Amino acid sequence: MILAVDVGNTRIKAAVFEDNTLLEHFAFLKTELEKSIQNILEKYKNTTDLVVASVSKVEKEAFVRFETRLNVHFISHSDAFPFVNCYETPQTLGIDRMVLATGATIQYPKQNRLVIDAGTCVTYDFIDENDNYLGGAIAPGLQLRYASLHNFTAKLPLLSLESPKHFIGKSTSESIHSGVVNGLVYEIEGYINELKSQYSKFIIILTGGDTVFLAKRLKNTIFANSNFLLESLNQTFQYKIKK
């Protein structure tokens, strides 16, 4: 059994895998890291490997303490990946984006793929049918948009995610919800439509903490899978140990 851990900028997500089957998934805060992992390992006693992909500042020591019980692996830029990295600054490409590109390459072979990860940031990653990772885009996620409007103005309140009641916002809060939610939906649709003018065919995978909220608002056909990063992390590890 493998415990895959995705350390994001807001939360930590984890899942236990038996080969390619996801048995259970978890989400917790960084402050709960060690306790949460301990609890998972108590429940899944046959876990042999702990695989970590981190884009955050969580200390390696937090994981190293589990080395007495199992093998701990940190995915890094120097690992083997099943795609050609065409990013002009490959060393600054987020590990999470490399893991997503790995999952897309392995799960959807021989086709153009766009991966959209809607978390703290919304990332767009494009891997062409020849398995060239071309790059993409980085934009603020939903929660970050709400927080920015509040943090960089005097008059805007901090709101939490809500479906806009009216397209034409009739109050401050309705205007914010309309701007944040419709803004991101249009951004995603716009990004997809621009790519369609460049590539006749590609599949679209949507993942991240806002997957469910966004999937029902998008017109394009997408594979919506909140666990795609964790599944991809398991596959990145399998690929790494086979090499």
Ligand X SMILES: Nc1ncnc2c1ncn2[C@@H]1O[C@H](COP(=O)(O)OP(=O)(O)OP(=O)(O)O)[C@@H](O)[C@H]1O
Residue of 96, 128, 131, 210 marked catalytic? 96
How many other β-carbons are positioned within 10 Å of the β-carbon of residue 134? 15
- 117 known ligand binder: yes
Site size toward ligand PAU (CB under 6 A) is 10
Choose, by CB under 6 A, the member of 33, 50, 53, 55 that binds ligand PAU.
55
* CA quadruple 125, 127, 133, 135: dihedral sign: negative
**The entry of ligand X, K ion, ligand PAU, none that residue 210 binds, CB within 5 to 8 Å by partner kind:** ligand X
Q: Which segment (61-69, 113-121, 170-178, 216-224) binds ligand X by CB under 6 A?
A: 113-121
Q: How far is the CB of 89 from ligand PAU (least distance, A)?
A: 7
Q: Tokens 């398991």: give the residue.
A: 234
For helices 95-107 and 228-242, the axis angle rounded to 10 degrees is 80
Q: Tokens 């997500």: give the residue.
A: 13
What are 192's two structure tokens? Answer: 């997809």
Give the Cα separation of 97 and 100 in Å (integer): 5
Asked if 177 is part of the footprint of ligand PAU (rule: CB under 6 A), the reply reads no
Q: How far is the CB of 92 from ligand PAU (least distance, A)?
A: 5
* Residue 79 falls in the annotated catalytic set: no
Active site residues: 96
